[in-house]
Structure 1
Amino acid sequence: MDDLVKRVLNGDRRAAARMISLIENDEEAKNELMSKIYPCTGHAYIIGITGSPGAGKSSLTDKLVGEIRRGGLTVAIIAIDPTSPFTGGAILGDRIRMQSHALDAEVFIRSMGTRGSLGGLSHATNEAAKVMDALKKDIIIIETVGVGQSEFDIMHIANSTLVVLTPGAGDAIQTIKAGIMEIADIFVVNKSDLDGADRVKMEVEVMLDMKQIDGWRPPVVPTVSLNGKGVQELWLKIMEHKSFLESSGLLLKQRKKRLREEVREIVEHEIRKHVWTAVEKSGEMDKLVAQMMQREMDPYTAAKRLIAAHLQFR
């Protein structure tokens, strides 16, 4: 384990991939590994890219990485793909759209399945980002699944969140209805060479005008991921947002808040794992289900009974 940590801290990509696999599989060594690398994290800037399926997030990410690399910064990409509820598998196909960076030693690409997590993110995404941070990557890009109204998890990880819209699909109005307006630091109107792009940009600007904004007003940036048009401006807007967060002290507040939330999430995860491991070993659930089927017990009483039995409190 110490050797694995040492290799990650020395920039070994294979070791980083191995560590992320251990994290995804929730191996027993995971918590100790994360504890060991934690002192070497906190330096990377995290960009979240979200939006509906087919908005061109992966192609946009590919072009954005090219712009970042031209500035000499190193990049890690976490591309989240939906996991099949039937087979448990995921296509993990986003690497296909990022082949132009596959041979760049300073670009680390990792595809991850959601494995049942809601919100368009894998449960292990935050921990994987820490591994990439420890790998000394300057910028970490997290591209979410794109599942509409459950996309809000990204705002709890990313420093800057990009919401990608496209013309011709009612995306702008749907995004406004879904409440995704609230999480965007930057709006990207991708495929802006298509008819209706100006209308999408105008609709978003009108909604921003109607909203009371204190501090940062999310810019609306048109891009064409096919040829990279507008991507340089997008990168400049991301850096402007980073400067705003740093100068206003919001970046520090953001990180403190997220550490508090992270501890809460770890506690919830560990309690859930502890309870269900004990329940599965005891075989209690089958008995409780039989009682509930006969209406001799309700699910709320069953849950309280399990909690009392395995957490020693009522």
Structure 2
Amino acid sequence: MATVDVPDLVTRARQGQPRAVARLISLVEGASPQLRAVMAALAPHTGHAYVVGLTGSPGVGKSTSTSALVSAYRRAGKRVGVLAVDPSSPFSGGALLGDRVRMSEHASDPGVYIRSMATRGHLGGLSWAAPQALRVLDGAGCDVILVETVGVGQSEVEIASLADTSVVLLAPGMGDGIQAAKAGILEIGDVFVVNKADREGADATVRELNHMLGLGEARAAGDWRPSVVKTVAARGEGVDEVVEALEKHRAWMEERGVLTERRLRRAAHEVESIAVTALRERIGDVHGDRRLTVLAEQVIAGDLDPYTAADRLLAALTGPAAVAPE
């Protein structure tokens, strides 16, 4: 892969050049050897974007709702980034990328950057590269970043660990109330949106949601009570109310230090993931290594138990290369 001028690329991304942003995210997705340099160059410019995650069952109108939110934030003069995470093809590994088609109305707006990313088999509803892609959009000057994930399910609540505010979308007549309790999304939702509210049963869905939220853990005075908002995103109805609910949640988090706590937890998880990935790569290099063979022989002979053998292997792998934090 050809090397790129990272400082120049970051400067052009900061100026709002979409091709520069696209190139940086491509470096992230391709796990480029220059990724460390990219993240180092972006670091001083990050930490300003408000990250909103949107998730929900297929068919509730996530892409339409995301597009409507983009329009609302643009009217407010905000620069918006969108990461639309699509399910990967089990055959090619590629994504369907239908979200970019549904958000085509924003394609010519220089204040909006839309990127579709494939999960590539990663459970949790997110691409493994999503945290670094968020850093690119943050560093490129986006005020708000909307992360739209694949359909929610038992293992697809990861968005809660990545976003400042998590929005769960439901629609009447889709059995979402039962699914919400089953998948545990009541715990991750900060704002609930009942989309397609012009359909029969919308009010019943809102009542059921409020009832289920009321049955949740007891809240102390001042704790956040998730908002429930009705929308018809295809017509833009109720979208301003969603933005209002998001801003209220953001203000509540800032007032109580929750936003800082969430971002600290997110950064810690990101650092841990990078470290674990690096360690896994190093361990992968020892297949066929004489050290591993010797330890395995000792386990078979009964001279070592597997846990002690694993400790010795880790010590051998991490000892010489261990770097103490400054």
Note whether the superposition's TM-score is higher than 0.5. yes
User: Aligned runs of 1:105-116 on 2, under 5 Å?
Assistant: 105-116=110-121
Q: Which residue of structure 2 aligns with residue 256 of structure 1?
A: 264
Match of 2:14 among 9, 22, 28: 9
Is 2:35 the partner of 1:30? yes
How many Å separate the matches in 2 of 1:143 and 1:83? 14
* Change in CA separation of 1:310 and 1:87 when aligned onto 2, cut-off 3 Å: farther
How many Å separate the matches in 2 of 1:309 and 1:261? 23
How many Å separate the matches in 2 of 1:306 and 1:94? 49
How many Å separate the matches in 2 of 1:19 and 1:271? 25
Q: Which residue of structure 2 aligns with residue 311 of structure 1?
A: 317
Quote the offset at 1:309 in angstroms.
9.3
Contact 1:275-1:310 within 8 A present in 2 as well: no
Match of 2:224 among 200, 216, 220: 216
Q: Which residue of structure 2 aligns with residue 139 of structure 1?
A: 144
* Change in CA separation of 1:270 and 1:181 when aligned onto 2, cut-off 3 Å: same
How many Å separate the matches in 1 of 2:159 and 2:70? 19
Contact 2:79-2:142 within 8 A present in 1 as well: yes
Match of 1:227 among 212, 235, 256: 235
Residue identity in the other structure for 2:219:
I
**RMSD over aligned Cα, in angstroms?**
2.4
Quote the offset at 1:6 in angstroms.
2.4
Is 2:251 the partner of 1:246? no
Match of 2:78 among 73, 77, 82: 73
In structure 1, stretches of 5+ residues that fail to align are: none
Is 2:60 the partner of 1:55? yes
Is 2:92 the partner of 1:83? no
Quote the offset at 1:213 in angstroms.
2.4
**What is the identity percentage for the equivalent residue pairs of Structure 1 and Structure 2?**
46
Is 2:202 the partner of 1:197? yes
SS in 1 for 2:13: helix
Quote the offset at 1:9 in angstroms.
2.7
SS in 2 for 1:150: coil
How many Å separate the matches in 1 of 2:159 and 2:197? 24
How many Å separate the matches in 1 of 2:151 and 2:43? 29
How many Å separate the matches in 2 of 1:312 and 1:246? 39
Quote the offset at 1:312 in angstroms.
5.3
User: Aligned runs of 1:149-160 on 2, under 5 Å?
Assistant: 149-160=154-165
In structure 2, stretches of 5+ residues that fail to align are: 1-5, 320-326
SS in 1 for 2:193: strand
Contact 2:16-2:110 within 8 A present in 1 as well: no
- Output the TM-score relative to the length of structure 2: 0.86
Post-superposition CA distance 1:268-287 (Å, at most 9, x none): 122123333x25xx567xxx
Residue identity in the other structure for 1:201:
V
Of the structure 1 ranges 182-191 and 170-179, higher mean CA displacement relative to structure 2 is found in 170-179
Contact 1:47-1:142 within 8 A present in 2 as well: yes
* Change in CA separation of 1:262 and 1:312 when aligned onto 2, cut-off 3 Å: closer
* Change in CA separation of 1:237 and 1:308 when aligned onto 2, cut-off 3 Å: closer
The number of equivalent residue pairs is: 300
How many Å separate the matches in 2 of 1:87 and 1:310? 38
Residue identity in the other structure for 2:253:
L
Quote the offset at 1:102 in angstroms.
0.8
Contact 2:152-2:183 within 8 A present in 1 as well: no
* Change in CA separation of 1:57 and 1:310 when aligned onto 2, cut-off 3 Å: farther
Residue identity in the other structure for 2:234:
L
Contact 2:56-2:62 within 8 A present in 1 as well: yes
- Output the TM-score relative to the length of structure 1: 0.89
* Change in CA separation of 1:180 and 1:76 when aligned onto 2, cut-off 3 Å: same
Of the structure 1 ranges 30-39 and 46-55, higher mean CA displacement relative to structure 2 is found in 30-39
Q: Which residue of structure 2 aligns with residue 100 of structure 1?
A: 105
* Change in CA separation of 1:310 and 1:99 when aligned onto 2, cut-off 3 Å: farther
Quote the offset at 1:58 in angstroms.
0.2
Contact 1:167-1:200 within 8 A present in 2 as well: yes
Contact 1:57-1:143 within 8 A present in 2 as well: yes
How many Å separate the matches in 1 of 2:226 and 2:93? 37
SS in 2 for 1:226: helix
4+ aligned runs moved over 3 Å, structure 1:
300-310
Quote the offset at 1:179 in angstroms.
0.8
* Change in CA separation of 1:312 and 1:226 when aligned onto 2, cut-off 3 Å: closer
Residue identity in the other structure for 1:223:
T
* Change in CA separation of 1:59 and 1:310 when aligned onto 2, cut-off 3 Å: farther
